[in-house]
Each structure stands twice: as C-alpha cells, then as structure tokens.
Structure 1
Amino acid sequence: MKVSIILASYDSGHYHGGMGQGPDALIAGGLVEALTMAGHDVAVEDIGRVGDAQEREIATGFAVCNAVSGEVRIARDRGRFPIVLAGNCLTSAGAVAGEGADAIIWADQHGDLNTPDTSIYGFLDGMALATVLGLCWRPMAAAVPGFKPVDPSRCVLINARDLDPAEKQLLDTLPVIRTECPGAAEATEKLKAAGAQRAHMHLDLDVHDPEVLQANRYVTPGGPGPEQLRQAVCAMALSIPISGITISAYDPAFDAQANVPPLVGELLNDLLTTIEGR
C-alpha cells in the first residue's frame, strides 16, 4: 500500500514539546522501516511549524488542523493512505476534514468531550472529540478546509474510562456508541446501521492498560493490552472502510525502554494489511 505518514509535532501549542516529541520518536524508533519491510511504499511529510510563534494554544491547535487537512488531502489525491502522527488529539479534526470522513472511531482512555462551558481545566485537547462532533469551537473548526462535523450516532468511543462528570452527563444524551475491545464487532454493526461510509480511526496510545504499556503521563487503571487493541481495531477495519488513521499522545519521556514504537509498527502493519485486503 502507498502510505503517507504526516507528522504534526505539537502538544498544547508547543512545537516538539511533551507529546509533540512523539511523532519524531516513533520515526526514530523504526516505524518507516517496519512498514517498508512489510511491503508498503512509505512517504513522510512534516507540517513543521505552523502559524505565528506568538499565538496561543487555541489558535495554534486549529492552525495544526488546517495544515494536517491540507497534507491529508494531498496524500489522498496522490492515491496514498494517510497516517497522522500527532501530539494532540485535536489534530484528528484536521484529518477528518482532509479525508471527508463521515464517521469516527475514537480509542482513548479519556472522553475528550468537554466544552468551554464544562471544562474544569480549560484543556483544549479535552475538547477534541467534542470538536469533531460539532459540539464546540464551531467557527474555528468550520474554518478548517473540508471540515464537516461527524454525527454523534456515527461515533464509536472505545474504552473511555476516565470521564469528567459533565462528560458522563453528555454521553447520557448522545447516541455515541460506547464499547470496550471485546465488543468491537457489535459496535461496528451499529456504526454501519447509522449510515457510516468511511471512518477515521483515532488511536490515542494512552487507551492501553498502563500496567502493560504507558504512553504518557495520564494513567488510569484498566484498558486493553496492545494485542487486544490490535484485534479490535482490525476487526472494525475489516467491516467498515477506514479513510485514515491518527496515532496520538505518545510522550517518549514516559517510555524509558522505548516499548511503544515497535508496538505501533505492529499495530499499523496489521491495520494496513486488513484495510488493503478488504
């Protein structure tokens, strides 16, 4: 398969800070070589620095989405499958826009469903899925080329176990499809029944059980092991067209043994094989 890896190395508006170091660490950890050895034609594109260095987190976050949307669109125009390596989850809004995805599969220990009205900490990335679903930051999201909010009925939320009270209340009112990895097949059937045609797959690496794999500083007990997650997302990719993938939230400072990069390589190789073989 022809693959474009798109690097978006930002964390909370900071270039190459914190989880913004993750994309480069995954590349340095042999991701391109792993995909190439599996027979894929891999190109790497880097959005580099975007916007004004003096801009604050919100403006920079959406500038990253703009840049990613453009790179994803270019990749697809060239017949290449886009994989975005991002520091922040909000970046998936740019990938969804560039792909024209009408559904989202969101694997994350967090719900990312806060809004400016409900957020306790004002953490923009905690509003990432809410942005994709059109629940907040509407004018800024609408300015991202190609962005259209995803209907909540076409959203699968996998293993979100660290939810704020306001997120729990919101989920009680939304038709979001919630599941853990063993229920992935049933969740995919619900997604298809909702009319999904092409889904973006967002994989926040902190969805994993931190006792098995810790990707960043956010630690909540539970979650799938790497093999469980691989099996679940591949089963979903076998059942519904996947338009692109985002891998987010890897902070190499919390991975002293560099366990994450080879596991990401295995995950993506299995996913690409599944997508290619549909």
Structure 2
Amino acid sequence: MPARIRLLEVPYDSGCRDVRHGAGPPALVAAGAAQRLAHHGAVVDHGRVQLAAGPGPIVEAAAGTEVMRLVAQDVAAHAGHLPVVLAGNCGVTLGVVAGLRALAPERRVAVLWLDAHGDLQTPATSASGFFDGMSLAMTTGRCWQGLAASVPGYAPSPDDRTVLVGGHQLDEAERRLLDGPGPTWLTVADVRAGRAGSVLDRVVAHADAVHVHVDLDVHDTSLPPANSYAAPGGLTPDEVRATVLDAVTRLPLASATVASWDPTHDVDHRMRDAALGLLELLGTPAPAL
C-alpha cells in the first residue's frame, strides 16, 4: 500500500496571510511540492489552514498560537498520514508535534530543528519581541506556557529529544542555554566534522520517531537568502539533506515542517529548488532512505 502524506499549507507570517514568509507555502505548492512528495509513489492529500477573520487588529502571539491549534487539529484528524507542513513561521512545529501526541500520547517524538537561529528567546531575553523567535523555547516549555497549553495535545519537548542543527545566529542567552542545560546544539562545524551521527545515536535512546523541522534560512547565503533574517555561515543543501538522512535512517519520520521561505529574496529559484529537493527526500519510502 502506498504511503499517505498530508501536505498542509500554512501561509501565515505573524498572523498575516500570503505575505513575507507567508507567501512561501503557496509558492512551493505552485512549484510542484505535492508532485515532489509523490515522486516515489506516495498518495498526497493537500490541505490549507485558514484563520478566521477577526474584527480587530492582528495580535501576533494570539494569531500565531491559533495557527498552532489549527495545525494540531489537522494533524490529529489525519491519522495514518505523514504530516508534511509548509509554513510561514517556525512555531507551526509546536502544533505538528502536539497533533502527533494527541494521536499517540505514548509515542516519544524527537525534534530535529534545523535553523540559522536558536528560536530560544523568551519574553525576558528577546530584544525584538518577535514571537516566532521564541518558538523552540515555547516548544520546549520555556515560555508562553499558558498559550502552549491551549494547543490540543501539547506537552513540552524534553531537551534530550531536541536538537538544534546549524544554528549560527544566536544571542548570548541562547548560547549559554545551548552550552549548558538546554537542547543539544549541533553546529555547522559539527555537521562538517561528521559529528551528526554520534549526536543522533544519543537521541535514539530517548525517542521512537523524529519530527524534522527545516527553517530554510539554515542554508548559507551563498544561495539566495531564504528570508530577511538569513545570515552567512550556514549549511549547504547537501549538508541539510545529509543531516536529515542521518536522522531518518535512525528513527522513523513522524512528520516534517519546511518553513520561513520568502520568495521575494529568491532571485534565481535556487532556494526554492533546494526546498523542493528536500520535499522529495521526505517523500521517499523509509526502506529506500
């Protein structure tokens, strides 16, 4: 029986639809995301998240959390599918993992978070107040606990099942956390030195499956930058793919998020093509990985 994939389009950036990073998901769909996922024979079911229009101004934290809730509900409603989510913001991953937990509370899902940034800021440490810059902190239970608890199925992702990969644009508080008691930090240098496998071997002891989160700005800016937050010093597409392969050859793929692509920065479609190649990899049947 062919694999069943739920391709979920979440075209929001800070609660705004189809602008900035929110324009990335529909652009990837138009470029053939579903066909790439289906390349190896999977059956792809395509859905979209739609925020209800409110009477007042958008409140970033409230809108971002409502998106997480809708994503969690969609994942939980599609048992038997592999959720692959195209997202404007990284916080969507909290909703994906919560939806998986609603389906199977006993399943231990590791989170492999590929990102140029730590996303581990909190309201106490953030100088910008950007809600999405706190998304991994929220996923691991470090902030916005009341909002996180409103997402069906949410529970904090334990640090021993959480790995930040490729982070190189971090503030000092994030670095202290990652150098100390926080999630494992697999740096760009670590990836290039071949240390990904040994790190992931330790995660396997605490997990039954893996969620792969890729903020496309983890890629080096030698490609056109994924968004306005991208910074030099990132990974190549081959290094991103190799790290994902290292993870999914050790643990079953539970779900995936591809996030934060702003098409206006992609002058020659190379970042788009890197994302499509990654989606094709995610749609490859497990025995072939």
Q: TM-score range by the shorter chain?
A: over 0.9
SS in 1 for 2:38: helix
Q: TM-score, normalised by structure 2?
A: 0.90
The reply to whether residue 190 of structure 1 matches residue 190 of structure 2 is: no
- Are the aligned partners of 1:22 and 1:250 in contact in 2 as well (CA < 8 Å)? yes
Cα distance, 1:151–1:259 mapped onto 2, change above 3 Å: same
RMSD in angstroms over aligned alpha carbons?
A: 1.6
- Are the aligned partners of 1:237 and 1:271 in contact in 2 as well (CA < 8 Å)? no
CA distance in 1, matches of 2:287, 2:22: 29
Q: How does 1:203-222 map to 2 (within 5 A)?
A: 203-222=214-233
- The AA in structure 2 aligned to 1:185 is G
- The AA in structure 2 aligned to 1:63 is E
Q: How does 1:41-120 map to 2 (within 5 A)?
A: 41-50=43-52, 52=54, 54=56, 55-75=58-78, 77=79, 79-100=80-101, 102-120=109-127
Structure 2 counterpart of 1:145: 152
- Are the aligned partners of 2:224 and 2:267 in contact in 1 as well (CA < 8 Å)? no
The reply to whether residue 19 of structure 1 matches residue 49 of structure 2 is: no
The reply to whether residue 161 of structure 1 matches residue 162 of structure 2 is: no
- Are the aligned partners of 1:50 and 1:63 in contact in 2 as well (CA < 8 Å)? no
Cα distance, 1:149–1:224 mapped onto 2, change above 3 Å: same
- The AA in structure 2 aligned to 1:111 is G
**Residue 274 of structure 1: how far off its partner (Å):** 5.4
Q: TM-score, normalised by structure 1?
A: 0.94
Pick the aligned partner of 1:228 from 239, 242, 245.
239
**Residue 22 of structure 1: how far off its partner (Å):** 0.5
Which aligned segments of 4 or more residues in structure 1 are displaced greater than 6 angstroms?
A: none
User: How many equivalent pairs are there?
Assistant: 275
The reply to whether residue 178 of structure 1 matches residue 185 of structure 2 is: yes
**Residue 53 of structure 1: how far off its partner (Å):** 5.5
CA distance in 2, matches of 1:183, 1:152: 18
Larger helix percent: 1
What 5-or-longer segments of structure 2 have no aligned partner? 102-107
Q: Percent identity, please.
A: 36
**Residue 99 of structure 1: how far off its partner (Å):** 1.1
Structure 2 counterpart of 1:243: 254
- The AA in structure 1 aligned to 2:100 is E
- The AA in structure 2 aligned to 1:163 is L
**Residue 174 of structure 1: how far off its partner (Å):** 1.9
SS in 1 for 2:233: coil
CA distance in 2, matches of 1:53, 1:148: 31
SS in 2 for 1:82: strand
- Are the aligned partners of 1:30 and 1:261 in contact in 2 as well (CA < 8 Å)? no
CA distance in 1, matches of 2:245, 2:64: 29
SS in 2 for 1:129: helix
- Are the aligned partners of 1:51 and 1:60 in contact in 2 as well (CA < 8 Å)? no
**Residue 51 of structure 1: how far off its partner (Å):** 6.0
- Are the aligned partners of 1:113 and 1:127 in contact in 2 as well (CA < 8 Å)? yes
Structure 2 counterpart of 1:129: 136
CA distance in 2, matches of 1:256, 1:28: 17
SS in 2 for 1:156: strand
**Residue 120 of structure 1: how far off its partner (Å):** 0.5
9-18 or 88-97: which moved more? Answer: 9-18
CA distance in 1, matches of 2:118, 2:144: 17
CA distance in 2, matches of 1:259, 1:137: 36
CA distance in 2, matches of 1:51, 1:156: 36
